[in-house]
C-alpha cells in the first residue's frame, strides 16, 4: 500500500541520514526514523480517511429523502454506486479501504435486486462489515446455497454479535429452511451475547413455543433484506432508508 511504502521510505531516509552524516550510528537513527515513519503514516492515513469521509457524506446525501417513484429510487442508487466506485481509487493507498467500499457497493446492489452484482462485491467485502455479510447470507438463502448461507451468517454474527437484527435474520432463514433446532440455537447464542435485548428474547420465546418468528420488531431495517414484502406504505421508500457508513481503519 502506497501510504505504508511512503512512510517506510521516510523512516529509512531519516535513519540513513543520521548515520551517513556522522551524527550518530545506525542504532541512534532508528528511534527518530521510527518516529518519522509513524508520524508520516498517521498523516497520510488521516488524509485518505478525510477524503473518504467527504465521499461517504456525498453518497449519504444522494440516498436521503423519499423518492417519488421507483425509477427515481433506482437512479439514486446507481449514482451512489458510481460515487462509491470512484472511491476504489484509494484502495491502493490505504489498507482495508477496498473491502469496505466493496461492502457498501454490495449492499446497495443487493437492495436494488441486482443479486449477481451484489455477489461479486460481497466476495471482496470486509468480513468486519456484519450487515454486508448478513445480506450475503440472505443472498445465498435466496439462491438455496445453504452451506454458503451459514458461512456468511456466521461471519456476520461474529463481527456483529451486538446487533440483534443479524441474529434474527439468520434464525429466520433457518426457520424457512425447516431447520428450527438450528434457529433456536442461533437465537440462544444471540440472547447470550445480548442478555438485555428484549426483541431477541421474545423471538426465542416465540420459537420455543412453536409460534411464528415475526420480524416486525426489527423493522424498518428488516425490509432491506428483501426476504418479505413490505406493506404498501413503505414500498419505494427503501425499507426505512439506506444507510451508508464508512469507518476508515488505520
Q: Which residue has the higher pLDDT, 248 or 28?
A: 28
Q: What mean pLDDT is reported for the chain?
A: 87
More reliable by pLDDT, 75 or 243: 75
Per-residue confidence (pLDDT) for residue 242, from 0 to 100: 44
What pLDDT, on the 0 to 100 scale, is given for residue 109?
95
* Other CB atoms within 10 Å distance of the CB of residue 23: 11
Winning range, highest mean pLDDT, from 96-105, 182-191, 230-239:
182-191
pLDDT of residue 250: 37
Phi-psi group of 214: left, alpha or beta (phi > 0 → left; psi -120 to 50 → alpha; rest → beta): beta
Backbone φ and ψ for 114, nearest 5 degrees, come out as: -90, 75
Q: Is 204 exposed, middle or buried (0-12, 13-18, 19+ CB in 10 A)?
A: buried
Which secondary structure element, helix H or strand E, spans residue 194, and what is its range?
Answer: none
pLDDT, tens digit (0-9, with 9 covering 90-100), for 152-193: 999 999 999 999 999 999 999 999 999 999 999 999 999 999
List of residues 6+ apart from 54 with CB closer than 8 A:
none
Compute the average pLDDT of residues 36-65. 87
pLDDT score, position 66 = 72
15, 94, 135, 240 from 122: Cα distances, Å: 42, 19, 9, 22
Q: What gap in Å lies between CA 152 and CA 157, rounded to an integer?
A: 9
The answer on pLDDT for 41 being more than 80 is yes
pLDDT band, residue 236 (cuts 50/70/90): very low
Grid cell listed for 60:
449519504
pLDDT at 234 over 70: no
Amino acid at each position: 500500500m502506497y501510504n505504508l511504502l511512503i512512510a517506510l521510505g521516510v523512516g529509512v531516509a531519516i535513519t540513513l541520514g543520521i548515520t551517513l552524516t556522522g551524527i550518530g550510528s545506525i542504532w541512534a537513527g532508528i528511534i527518530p526514523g521510527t518516529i518519522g515513519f509513524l508520524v508520516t503514516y498517521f498523516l497520510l492515513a488521516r488524509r485518505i480517511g478525510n477524503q473518504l469521509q467527504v465521499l461517504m457524506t456525498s453518497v449519504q446525501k444522494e440516498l436521503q429523502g423519499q423518492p417519488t417513484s421507483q425509477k427515481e429510487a433506482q437512479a439514486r442508487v446507481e449514482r451512489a454506486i458510481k460515487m462509491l466506485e470512484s472511491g476504489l481509487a484509494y484502495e491502493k493507498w490505504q489498507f482495508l479501504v477496498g473491502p469496505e467500499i466493496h461492502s457498501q457497493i454490495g449492499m446497495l446492489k443487493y437492495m436494488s435486486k441486482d443479486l449477481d452484482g451484489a455477489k461479486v462485491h460481497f466476495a471482496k467485502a470486509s468480513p468486519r462489515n456484519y450487515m454486508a455479510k448478513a445480506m450475503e447470507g440472505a443472498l445465498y438463502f435466496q439462491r438455496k446455497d445453504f452451506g454458503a448461507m451459514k458461512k456468511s451468517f456466521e461471519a456476520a454474527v461474529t463481527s456483529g454479535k451486538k446487533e440483534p437484527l443479524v441474529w434474527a435474520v439468520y434464525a429466520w432463514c433457518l426457520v424457512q429452511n425447516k431447520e428450527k433446532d438450528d434457529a433456536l440455537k442461533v437465537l440462544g447464542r444471540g440472547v447470550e451475547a445480548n442478555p438485555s435485548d428484549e426483541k431477541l428474547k421474545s423471538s426465542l420465546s416465540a420459537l420455543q413455543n412453536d409460534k411464528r418468528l415475526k420480524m416486525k420488531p426489527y423493522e424498518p431495517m428488516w425490509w432491506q433484506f428483501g426476504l418479505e414484502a413490505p406493506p404498501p406504505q413503505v414500498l419505494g421508500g427503501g425499507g426505512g432508508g439506506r444507510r451508508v457508513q464508512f469507518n476508515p481503519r488505520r
